Amino acid sequence: MKVVAKRSTMEKIVRDFRASGKKVGFVPTMGFLHDGHLSLIHRARKENDVVIASIFVNPTQFAPHEDFAEYPRDFKRDHQLLKNSVDYLFLPERSQIYREDEKVTFQLKDITANLCGFSRPDHFAGVALVVAKLFQIIRPHRAYFGQKDFQQTVVVKHLIDDLFFDTKLVVCPTVREVDGLALSSRNIYLTAHQRKLAPYLYQALRLGLKLFRAGEKKPEVIIRKMQNFLKEKGLKEIDYIDIRDAMDLTEIKTTPKQKIVLALAAFLGKTRLIDNIIFDPHEA
């Protein structure tokens, strides 16, 4: 694995690969890697000639009160985990990605007013900006994102379509601990007690799915039962629980034809965890 810090070096490497007909797979991350990230990398490895991962904790997707400064970082460990599985690690300094006094920002319509976008209003504009910049530099044939950050995958899909990026989005399943907790770099923040409570998030999603499958089609009833379940288990700070069309994140009124996303976010202390499941409403 070669570590590349400069944008111009990364651009040249990729240009040469593309010119020789090689397929480039790209896995953007913020580091502090776990098996969720590695599942994306393994998938990219299978499907491409060259695999590039990036580590960049993107300042523009954090609000001032959020955890940008404390976001966990451990480059030595990440390097160990990546060294035999990717060809290049793009590790830019902030100045390689953001110029001083930038004037361009993104505005996203409809798909970020709900779910995580409601309580993190500027988050996805920051995600879209950094992903566009990384795509501009790396120009991947395929880019790998986790379903765990489901709304992010919807944003990236629209970014690719609207800006005509020649990149295929590959969404990979959520990797979980044995007790169901979705792997996340932020799980490290959890106290022992909070770690015991955290798997109830996935259990609440499973409960919602079970209710739906048992014939309960009213979203508000499912959501209320999930809320009650979490409160009973001691998870009181629920940011949201929502059921939406998985394609465009619109509300579900009648049983939709398309897939449904059941998503939630909750605070355990200061740590905000998210999770979701996607299902086909017509499958029994």
Catalytic residues: 37
Task: Tell whether residue 219 is a contact of ligand AMP (CB under 6 A).
Answer: no
Task: Check residue 138 for interaction with ligand AMP (CB under 6 A).
Answer: no
Give CA–CA dist 123/129, Å, rounded.
10
| Residue 133 found at the interface with ligand AMP (CB under 6 A) | no
φ and ψ of 57, to 5 deg: -80, 105
Q: Give the shortest CB-34-to-ligand AMP separation in angstroms.
A: 7
Contact 271, 237 (CB under 8 A): no
Contact between 278 and ligand AMP per CB under 6 A: no
* Cα dihedral sign, 112-118-116-202: negative
Rounded to the nearest whole angstrom, what is the least distance from the CB of residue 27 to ligand AMP in the complex? 7
Please give the size of the binding site for ligand AMP, defined by CB under 6 A: 17
**Going residue by residue from 221 to 260, which x/- string records binding to ligand AMP, judged by CB under 6 A?**
----------------------------------------
Q: Which is nearer to ligand AMP, 30 or 247 (CB)?
A: 30
Is residue 13 close enough to count as binding ligand AMP by CB under 6 A? no
The answer to the question of residue 128 lying near ligand AMP (CB under 6 A) is: no
Query: Of 148 and 244, which CB lies nearer to ligand AMP in the complex structure?
Result: 148
Q: How far is the CB of 169 from ligand AMP (least distance, A)?
A: 10
DSSP state of 236: -
Is the separation of the CB atoms in 96 and 5 below 8 Å?
A: yes
Per-residue binding string, ligand AMP, 174-193, x by CB under 6 A, is: xx------xxxx--------
Which one of 4, 14, 24, 40 is in contact with ligand AMP (CB under 6 A)? Answer: 40
At residue 130, the 3 state secondary structure works out as helix
Q: If you ran DSSP here, which 8-state letter would residue 217 be given?
A: -
CB distance 262 to 208 below 8 Å: yes
The structure tokens listed for 13 are 């490497």
From residue 259, give the alpha-carbon distance in Å to each of 90, 168, 196, 243.
35, 20, 31, 11
Closest of 28, 30, 34 to residue 187, by C-alpha: 34
CB of 172 to ligand AMP, least distance (A): 6
What is the Cα–Cα distance from 276 to 241, expressed in whole angstroms? 9
Counting contacts by CB under 6 A, is residue 149 touching ligand AMP? Answer: yes
Which residues form the interface with ligand AMP (CB under 6 A)? 29-30, 36-37, 39-40, 145-146, 148-149, 172, 174-175, 182-185
